[in-house]
Amino acid sequence: MGRWRDGTGTLSVLDGAGTAVPLEIAASYRARTRGLLGRDGIEGALLLTPASSVHTFRMRFAIDVAHLDRRLRVIAVRTMRPGRLGAIRPRARHVLEAEAGAMEAWGLRPGSRLAIAAGPAGQDLRT
């Protein structure tokens, strides 16, 4: 399968509302560490990979968090307020973050399957 690289793309919930969601991919240590810190919001979603848990310390807004397995199937979804430490999900390989309420609007729930399309220049997001 390969490893993901930092970049952008489009996220689709295959069995949800069918909306194409702008996606940022944080695969490097530096990008994962920064995540959504210092932002006032996000349009779309942020995929942290590899990751099995997140925290919201020093964040400015509440987020929806979805834990994904290696096949991009949703294991769990929850909303986290700022200043919280999320549980570690042993089967999770990726974590998807978005503004609170966004994932419900996309139809994303446990068991949902996701698809990620290559970035705007058609680059491959995996090495």
Burial of 77 (0-12, 13-18, 19+ CB in 10 A): middle
- Strands 20-26 vs 45-48: parallel, antiparallel or unpaired: parallel
Report the alpha-carbon distance of residue 97 to residue 31 in Å, rounded: 13
Report the alpha-carbon distance of residue 35 to residue 26 in Å, rounded: 7
pTM, rounded to two decimals: 0.89
**For the residues 36-61, what does the mean pLDDT come to?**
93
Percent of the chain's residues with pLDDT above 90: 79
Contacts of 94 (CB under 8 A, 6+ apart): 47, 48, 49, 50, 51, 67, 68, 69, 70, 72
User: Would you give the distance in Å from CA 26 to the centre of its chain?
Assistant: 9
pLDDT category of residue 127 using cuts at 50, 70 and 90: very low
Quote the DSSP letter at residue 88: P
Question: Which residue is listed with tokens 């990979």?
Answer: 49
pLDDT category of residue 15 using cuts at 50, 70 and 90: confident
pLDDT tens digit string along 53-105? 999 999 999 999 999 999 999 999 999 999 999 999 999 999 999 999 999 99
pLDDT at 18: 74
**For the residues 48-55, what does the mean pLDDT come to?**
94
Name the phi and psi angles at 68, rounded to 5: -120, 145
Query: Which residues on neighbouring strands pair with residue 100, listed in sequence order?
Result: none
